[in-house]
Chain A
Amino acid sequence: MKVIKQSIRDRDMETIMGKVLRFGVLASVTIVTIGGIVYLVQHGSQKPYYQQFVGEPRRFREIQKIMQTALQGRGRSVIQLGLLVLMATPLARIAFSIIGYILEKDFLYVVITLIVFSVIILSL
C-alpha cells in the first residue's frame, strides 16, 4: 500500500517537472530569438571572429551584468539572458524535487538533492 502511494505522488511530481521543463525551454527559445533578431539588425553585416579564443566581455559572462545590459535592450545580452533561463530550467526541476521529497518525508533524498543543487549553484 505504501509503495503504491509513493508511486502516485511520484507521478504527480513528474507531471509538474514535465511542465516546468517545457515552459523553461519555450521561454528561453523565445528570449533567444528576440535577442537574435535585435543582434542581427544591429550587427548583421559585421564579420564575426571565432578562430581564436579571446574570451567574452563581462556583459556576456556575469549574471548581474547580463541582466543589466539585457534590460537596456542590447541584442547579445538578451541572447545570454535566454541562455541563463535555459540553464535555470533543470535547476528549477531540482528545486521542485527538493520540495517533493520534503513532502514525502524522504530525507535521504532531500539531502542528495540538496547536494546536487549546491554543487551547481557553487559552480555559477
Chain B
Amino acid sequence: MTALLFTLILLGVSTIAGLLGSLTGLGGGVVLIPVLTLIFKVDIHYAIGTSLISVIATSSGAAAAYVKEGISNIRLGMFLELATTIGAISGAFLATYIPTSTIAIIFGVILILSAVMSLIKHSDHLVTGRGGYLARKLKLNNRYPTQDGEQQYTVKNIVGGFLMMNVAGIISGLLGIGSGALKVIAMDHIMQVPFKVSTTTSNFMIGVTAVASAGIYLKRGYIDPGLSMPVVIGVLVGAIVGSKILFAARTKALKIIFAIVILILSMEMMYNGLTHKV
C-alpha cells in the first residue's frame, strides 16, 4: 500500500472513530488502537503514540466548547490533574517494561469496562451542604447552571477520588487512551459530582493527562508523523461533525452498536495478547 492510499484510508477510519467517539462519549482512542493494530497491523507502541495525539486533539476541541458554558469545575480538574499527570508519566514509563502482549490484554479489559460503562444508566448525584474539610479547604464545592438557575453542589470522598484518578492516569499513560470510563468512576461514583459537571471536567482533564505521557512517547520515537497526520485531522473533523448532529442522532441505538463493536475488538485484542500475536 502506498503512503497516499494508506493516509486516505486512515483519514476515513479516523473520521468515523471521531464521529462515533463523540456521539457515544467514549472518545476516539478506544477504537483507534485496536483498528490500527488488528486491521492495519501497526506495532502497538506506534498505535498508542498516535492515539495519545488524537486524545489531546479531541479533548482540547471539546473542552473549548464546554469551558465556555461554565459547567466544568476548574479547581476540581486542576486538583485531580495532580493525580492523573503523575500517573500518566508512571504509566508511560511502565509501557517500556511491560511486554506488548500484556499491554494488549490490559487494553482488552479496559475496553470491556468502557463498553459496559457506556451502557449503564448514568447515576446522577447531587450532594449539597457544607461538605467535608478537604473539599472546603481545596474549594472544590461549586455551582453549575441548570434550567432552574445556579445549583450548588458538594464534592465527596476527595482522597478516594484522587487515588482512582491516579489509576486512571496510569492506564492513560500505559495504553494511550483518555481513560474516560475510569474518570467517570472516580468523579460520578466516588466523589458524587453531578453528571454534567463530571463529564465536562473529565474532558477538560483528559488533554492535560495525555500531554504528560505524550512527551515521553515523543522522546522515545513512538509518535510517527505519517500515522498522526491523518488521525489528528480525521478525529477532529469527526468530533466536530458529531457534536453538531448529537441531538439529531438516536444515541441509544448507536451506543449499543458501538459497545458491541468494542466488545468484539477487545476480545480479539485479548486473544492476540494471550497467543502472543501482538
Contacts and interface: CB of A to CB of B under 8 A. Distances in A.
Interface of A: 7, 10-11, 13-15, 17-19, 21-22, 24-25, 28-29, 32-33, 35-36, 39-40, 43-48, 50-53, 55-57, 60-62, 75-77, 79-80, 82-83, 86-87, 89-91, 93-94, 97, 106, 108-109, 112-113, 115-116, 119-120, 123-124
B109 interface: no
A47 B3 contact: yes
Interface stretch (B60-68, B189-197, B259-267, B268-276): B60-68
B223 A97 contact: no
A97 B78 contact: yes
Nearest to B53: A83
B183 to A, nearest CB: 15
Contact of B216 (A62, A76, A108, A123): A123
Nearest to A17: B67
A119 B211 contact: no
Interface in B205-243: 207-208, 211-216, 218-230, 232-233, 236
Contacts of B232: 28-29, 32, 82-83, 86
B74 A13 contact: yes
Contacts of A53: 43, 45-46, 222
Given A14-B68, A56-B224, A116 B74 contact: no
A21 B60 contact: yes
Which residue of A43, A51, A87, A106 has the most chain B CB atoms within 10 A of its CB atom? A87
A67 B56 CA distance: 20
Interface in B68-86: 68, 70, 72, 74-75, 78-79, 81-82, 85-86
B212 A60 contact: no
B7 interface: yes
A10 B68 CA distance: 11
A35 B222 CA distance: 19
Given A21-B60, A24-B60, A52-B43, A120 B212 contact: yes
Given A21-B64, A89-B60, A123-B215, A115 B82 contact: yes
Main DSSP-derived SS at the A contact region: helix
Given A25-B57, A53-B45, A116-B208, A79 B215 contact: no
Interface of B: 1-4, 6-7, 40-43, 45-46, 53, 56-57, 59-61, 63-65, 67-68, 70, 72, 74-75, 78-79, 81-82, 85-86, 89, 92, 137-139, 143, 207-208, 211-216, 218-230, 232-233, 236
A90 B211 contact: yes
Contacts of A86: 53, 56-57, 60, 232
Contact of B223 (A39, A83, A124): A83
A67 B59 CA distance: 25
A67 to B, nearest CB: 13
A96 to B, nearest CB: 11
Which residue of A7, A13, A90 has the most chain B CB atoms within 10 A of its CB atom? A90
B86 A90 contact: no
Nearest to B5: A44
Which residue of B7, B207, B218 has the most chain A CB atoms within 10 A of its CB atom? B218
B212 A119 contact: yes
A60 B225 contact: yes
11 contacts: A10-B70, A14-B67, A14-B72, A32-B228, A60-B223, A61-B219, A76-B226, A79-B229, A90-B60, A108-B138, A123-B212
A13 B68 CA distance: 10
Contacts of B3: 39-40, 43-48
Give the 8 A-B residue pairs with the shortest CB-CB distance, closest first. Answer: A55-B221, A56-B221, A79-B225, A44-B4, A21-B64, A76-B225, A124-B215, A123-B215
